[in-house]
């Protein structure tokens, strides 16, 4: 996970060397927002170049609160300058870096709306998706945030398909899918333990059908085999086990399913000892 991604826009051709020595704007006293403090009045008198340079210095030193204030001052005092446009993105990145995801998303939404043709618009969409992605919670909890993150990551892929942003978004979507599949598995196990078989079947089938690239599929197929056997649906159990054996022949879940079928399933007299091989052939 690229938790502290260095934004590509940091390499933008902005001339900062001439103003990076201005130390008068780098102190941070933590004064709450509201009335104009002497510090805020002093900042307002600085040039946009010096404010931006100080903001970059604070950002590079991981002093994210001061960086946000400095970038926001540029945007507020010099709203029509090139520095203001760039400062919007940098403030959003600083908020992201200090886990202020709501503030970062709000700033990025405004940037995307105001500057849809900006050369760093791809980064803005990507950073917005990262804000949602970083809030993905444990699979045992509600996964609505995961679905929002997946939608935002998919948006990056659709809009900027041949960029590093899209490649990283695809990797992160795999983990997001794994979280969603894990949630389905947790609910399915809950239902199965309480013998609510129809509800459990629905959850495990969804994992097999909708999350085929996740590592939860072998267990889901085994759980289907278990439930079908408990209901006396031997053919369906054999089919699930056959799919499991064909796709995951070395999985411990396949060994468990095979043992269940051999030990627990009735076998007709005409069945041969290779009945599971025949089931695989019938499916594939």
Exposed, middle or buried, 254 (CB in 10 Å: 0-12/13-18/19+)? buried
How many CA atoms does the CB half-sphere of 179 hold within 13 Å?
23
pLDDT above 90 covers a percentage of the chain that reads 55
pLDDT computed for residue 273 by the predictor:
42
For the stretch 171-212, pLDDT in tens is: 999 888 888 898 899 999 999 999 999 999 999 999 999 998
Tell me the average confidence (pLDDT) per consecutive run of 10 residues in the chain, 284 residues long. Answer: 46 38 37 55 72 92 93 89 91 96 95 94 96 77 78 95 93 88 92 94 94 92 94 92 91 90 56 46 46
For the stretch 263-272, pLDDT in tens is: 755 444 344 4
Domains of the chain: 1-25+36-135 (1.25.40.10)
- What is the pTM assigned to this prediction? 0.67
């Amino acid at each position: 996970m690229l938790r502290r991604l260095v934004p590509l826009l940091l390499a933008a051709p902005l001339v900062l060397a001439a103003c990076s020595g201005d130390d008068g704007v780098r102190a941070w006293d933590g004064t709450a927002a509201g009335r104009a403090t002497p510090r805020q009045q002093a900042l307002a008198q600085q040039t946009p170049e010096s404010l931006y340079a100080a903001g970059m210095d604070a950002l590079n030193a991981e002093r994210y609160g001061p960086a946000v204030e400095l970038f926001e001052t540029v945007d507020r005092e010099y709203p029509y300058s090139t520095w203001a446009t760039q400062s919007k993105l940098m403030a959003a990145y600083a908020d992201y870096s200090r886990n202020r995801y709501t503030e970062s998303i709000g700033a990025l939404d405004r940037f995307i709306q105001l500057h849809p043709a900006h050369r760093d618009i791809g980064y803005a969409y990507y950073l917005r998706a990262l804000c949602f992605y970083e809030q993905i919670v444990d699979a045992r909890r509600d996964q609505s945030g995961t679905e929002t993150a997946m939608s935002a990551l998919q948006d990056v892929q659709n809009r900027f398909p041949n960029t590093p942003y899209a490649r990283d978004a695809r990797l992160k979507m795999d983990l997001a899918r794994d979280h969603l599949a894990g949630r389905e598995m947790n609910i399915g196990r809950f239902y199965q333990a309480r013998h609510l078989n129809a509800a459990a079947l629905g959850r495990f089938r969804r994992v097999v059908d909708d999350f085929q690239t996740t590592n939860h599929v072998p267990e889901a197929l085994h759980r289907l085999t278990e439930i079908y056997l408990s209901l006396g649906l031997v053919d369906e159990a054999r089919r699930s086990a056959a799919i499991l054996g064909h796709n995951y022949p070395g999985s411990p879940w396949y060994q468990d399913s095979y043992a269940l079928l051999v030990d627990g399933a009735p076998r007709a007299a005409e069945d041969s000892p290779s009945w599971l091989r025949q089931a695989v052939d019938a499916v594939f």
